[in-house]
């Protein structure tokens, strides 16, 4: 499908989920000035980590269309136009670059205040017009918004750990814990091995969008020590979701993986339309089997020679947990699967 077709399908689903008329006026745009930055910032918005952004007031002075109005709805895409999420503007405040409040900088979800300032100074320096002086008094338009679609990735509390959206600062810990044969031997070959810092930065910067609907960092002892994902099917497969996870071997034996699978399974089975969650386990991964079974998953069959691992066909076991009877109105709007409007220039980060 073309980006325009994907946008239309995404918009129709978003309107149904958020209870908006299909003809709601909206703009289509992406963050940043590069494909990498557009995906990175868009993924932070989609997961619910980033709830604010800012841009040079200069651009709004040149063209009023570049200044948002409270209530504006936007479809956010990546650099190529593939849809990521739908947001609504809730506030616009002018601040000088050197006077942006710390709480606003943190709401941008890109690190602490120092990291925010350095990143924005770099961005504005390379995107400003040649005649604009950039200093502490340069005016910015600082916007806050709410995520309308899809459902934000929630933080889930566990005993001795928690599940939360990925943060840019997690990259070193992710690279360290994921770079282990004891982890990669039970994951398919899409998972890099060896696992580098660049792999971690790519994953946190939006790589997870290609393979999952929700993706959490498993935080243990104050650092990201694993990952767990939930992916809802689309079209005729929208009633099914799949779960996958890994936890660094230094945290095995504490019941953390089991608690994480239980929490994500409970969350997933509340999503509107989801009737079952399934997991595919490599033959011989007895620990994963025990984790699933203790959380109510049942063995449904063996998929013989169904996956290539290191070039060799291996068996997988299919496990599934079904949704108990629940009133449809009690379920969460899942957030996963136009009227056209002009795309705006990328003036925000």
Tell which CATH architecture fits domain 156-330.
3-Layer(aba) Sandwich (3.40)
Q: Which one-letter DSSP state was computed for residue 14?
A: H
Q: What are residue 313's DSSP bridge partners?
A: 308
Q: Where are the domains of the chain?
A: 3-149, 156-330
Q: Which residues fall within 8 angstroms of residue 3, CB to CB, at 6 or more apart?
A: 77, 80, 81, 82, 83
Burial of 77 (0-12, 13-18, 19+ CB in 10 A): buried
* Radius of gyration for the chain, computed over Cα atoms and rounded to the nearest angstrom: 21
User: Sign of the CA dihedral 3, 9, 12, 16?
Assistant: negative
Tokens representing residue 282 in the block: 């490599």
Question: Per-residue pLDDT tens for 298-326?
Answer: 999 999 999 999 999 999 999 999 998 75
Domains 3-149 and 156-330 are alike in CATH topology = no
Chain-centroid distance, C-alpha 170:
14
Q: Which one-letter DSSP state was computed for residue 332?
A: B
Asked if 145 and 87 count as a contact pair (C-beta separation under 8 A), the reply is yes
Tell which CATH architecture fits domain 3-149.
Roll (3.10)
What integer pLDDT is reported at residue 208 of this predicted model? 87
Nearest 5°: phi and psi at 37?
-70, -35
Q: Which residues of the chain have pLDDT under 70?
A: 211, 326-347
What integer pLDDT is reported at residue 213 of this predicted model? 85
Asked if 97 and 58 count as a contact pair (C-beta separation under 8 A), the reply is no
Tokens representing residue 189 in the block: 């070959």
The Cβ of residue 89 has, within 10 Å, a number of other Cβ atoms equal to 17
């Amino acid at each position: 499908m073309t980006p325009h077709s994907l946008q239309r399908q995404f918009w129709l689903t978003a309107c149904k989920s958020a209870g908006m008329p299909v003809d709601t006026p909206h703009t289509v745009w992406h963050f940043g000035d590069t494909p990498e930055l557009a995906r990175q910032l868009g993924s932070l918005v989609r997961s619910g980590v980033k709830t604010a952004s800012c841009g040079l007031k200069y651009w709004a002075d040149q063209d009023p269309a570049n200044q948002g109005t409270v209530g504006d709805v936007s479809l956010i895409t990546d650099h190529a136009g593939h849809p990521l999420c739908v947001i609504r503007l809730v506030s616009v405040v002018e601040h000088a670059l050197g006077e942006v409040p710390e709480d606003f900088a943190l709401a941008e979800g890109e690190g602490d205040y120092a990291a925010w300032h350095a990143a924005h100074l770099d961005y504005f320096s390379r995107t400003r017009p040649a005649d604009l002086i950039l200093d502490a008094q340069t005016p910015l338009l600082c916007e806050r918004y709410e995520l309308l679609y899809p459902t934000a990735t929630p933080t889930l509390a566990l005993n001795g750990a928690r599940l939360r959206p990925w943060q840019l600062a997690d990259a070193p810990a992710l690279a360290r814990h994921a770079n282990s044969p004891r982890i990669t031997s039970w994951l398919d070959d899409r998972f890099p091995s060896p696992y580098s810092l660049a792999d971690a930065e790519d994953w946190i910067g939006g790589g997870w969008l290609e393979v999952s609907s929700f993706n959490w960092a498993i935080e243990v002892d104050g650092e990201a020590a694993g990952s767990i994902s939930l992916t809802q099917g689309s079209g005729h497969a929208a009633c099914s979701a799949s779960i996958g996870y890994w936890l660094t071997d230094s945290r095995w034996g504490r019941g953390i993986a089991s608690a994480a699978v239980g929490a994500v399974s409970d969350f997933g089975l509340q999503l509107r339309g989801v009737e079952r969650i399934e997991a595919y386990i490599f033959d011989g991964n007895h620990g994963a089997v025990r984790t699933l079974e203790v959380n109510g998953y049942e063995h449904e069959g063996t998929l013989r020679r169904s996956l290539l691992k290191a070039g060799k066909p291996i068996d997988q076991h299919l496990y599934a947990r079904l949704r108990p009877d629940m009133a449809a109105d009690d379920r969460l709007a899942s957030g996963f699967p136009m009227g056209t409007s002009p795309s705006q220039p990328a003036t925000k980060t």
